[in-house]
Amino acid sequence: MRWILPPAVLLCLAAAGAQATERSPAPAGSSDIPLQHDNWPRVDVPWQAARNAADWWQAFGSASLPALQARARAANPGLLSAQAAIAKARATLAATDADGSVQLTASASSQHSRQGGSGSSTSRLAPELSYSLDWWGKQAAASRAAAVRLAASEASRDASALTLDSEVARQYFTLLALTQQQQLASRQLTLMTQRSLLLQQQVAYGAKAGYELAALQQDVASKTASVAALTLSLRQAYSALAVLCGAATPDFQLTPEPLADLQLPYPAPLQPAALLLQRPDIRAADATLQAAQADIAAARAALYPTLTFSWQGVLSKVAGGPSQWVATAAAALAGTLYDGGRLRAGVRYSEAAWQEQLQAWRSTVLSAIAEADNAMQALAAYQQAMTALEAQLQAAEQQERASDARYRLGAIDKSSLLAQQETTLAVRQSWFEMRSKLLSASATLYEALGGAPLLAASGG
């Protein structure tokens, strides 16, 4: 049912509606979220500010990584989908803003009739101009919701780009490590095969027991399976990196570089409060929360009538007669008297949606703090493990040099030398694996901190 009220009643309703629409909830406090963490490391050295993401990734000193990430940003389906979501949000904002502007429509008609031997024709043109006054703030709230949803889409795109850059880096480091591990494992298999041939001769001459040969042959079989598994993992790493770059595996070409040549940059640690501004996923959650709050204001404003001003003109002409022009202006107030509680249910729905999004925001913030803390702890643990492995590798290489010297002096046989070389290769494989984990942990920390500025790079 539609109804029209006189101006005095309109003013009273306007005052009541203004008071009602001011009661939109504000975000609840976050006293349970730790915005300062005393256990997080404090950095006293100056930051090497990263002007953009490329500065960070170039700090690894890789010749291929920045190009791979640029390729991924240009062709990754997930990131392109996020870009399309921004275009959708921008179109939605434009359409919402247009709803609050002046609307101009026009209709035209022509009628011809004939009776007996005579006929007549009538032409009619009717333009109409209308504007709905946003007294209760419904249109403003809808536009505000669309605007912050656009900001949320842009922040989500930034989060996708940050995750993509980090995942490309981690996958690339894994690929480099697998490449060198596969080469070392193949070399180790060659040495074990040579030692097995020597041991066969020694068993034939009675110098060694047969059980030693059987044990070594078992090790050779195990290493053969290990090389095959590494080869498969390397192929899968190529495929995963190709997918991230938006390319088919057969068309993906990459020349690996030595993993040991890469540098290890450190992002400057941030306190939890800084993550609220630094991480794009938190910015996206915050914008979505603001949009939900604007939805509440729009739902409450929908409870009140709408005031529309209109002007209409009609230009008509009958064949053989003069043109006639008639113009009318009107103001109409229209509202719903009874709808079974649908509009108020819409308000409750919007309020519940806001509460839901508030908890989603809290979850995002808490997860971000946990991810940053875990990434820092992982990087510290890998650094300790790397220090131990470097000492172990240094000791193995020193022992290999000593074994080589003893072999040349005839103090040990060639089988013993080969065994020590195998040990050194095994330790070196572990070193490359840990080096990959350390570089990946640095990329993960950068992502967890939302793209923090750089500290000085380290070659360790």
pLDDT tens profile 414-427? 888 888 988 999 99
Please tell me the predicted confidence (pLDDT) of residue 449.
Answer: 86
* DSSP of 145-181: HHHHHHHHHHHHHHHHHHHHHHHHHHHHHHHHHHHHH
Q: Within 13 Å of residue 443, how many CA atoms lie on the same side as its CB?
A: 27
Model confidence band, residue 288 (pLDDT cutoffs 50, 70, 90): very high
Closest CA to 113 of 276, 318, 312: 318
Which of the pair, 93 or 326, is modelled with greater confidence?
93
Answer for the pair 267, 449: CB distance below 8 angstroms, yes or no.
yes
pLDDT above 60 (res 109): yes
Question: Once rounded to an integer, what is the mean pLDDT over residues 110-133?
Answer: 78
Closest CA to 453 of 43, 56, 16: 56
* CA–CA gap between residue 334 and residue 13 (Å, rounded): 12
Stated pTM of the model: 0.79
Q: Give the chain's domains with CATH numbers.
A: 7-16+34-109+120-448 (1.20.1600.10)
User: What phi and psi values does residue 257 have, to the nearest 5 degrees?
Assistant: -115, 160
Which of the pair, 324 or 15, is modelled with greater confidence?
324
Model confidence band, residue 2 (pLDDT cutoffs 50, 70, 90): very low
On average, the pLDDT of the chain sits at 82
* CA–CA gap between residue 57 and residue 173 (Å, rounded): 12
pLDDT above 60 (res 299): yes
Residue 255: partners with Cβ closer than 8 Å, 6 or more residues away: 64
pLDDT above 80 (res 453): no
Closest CA to 146 of 295, 361, 354: 295
* CA–CA gap between residue 212 and residue 196 (Å, rounded): 10
334: helix, strand or coil: strand
Model confidence band, residue 23 (pLDDT cutoffs 50, 70, 90): very low
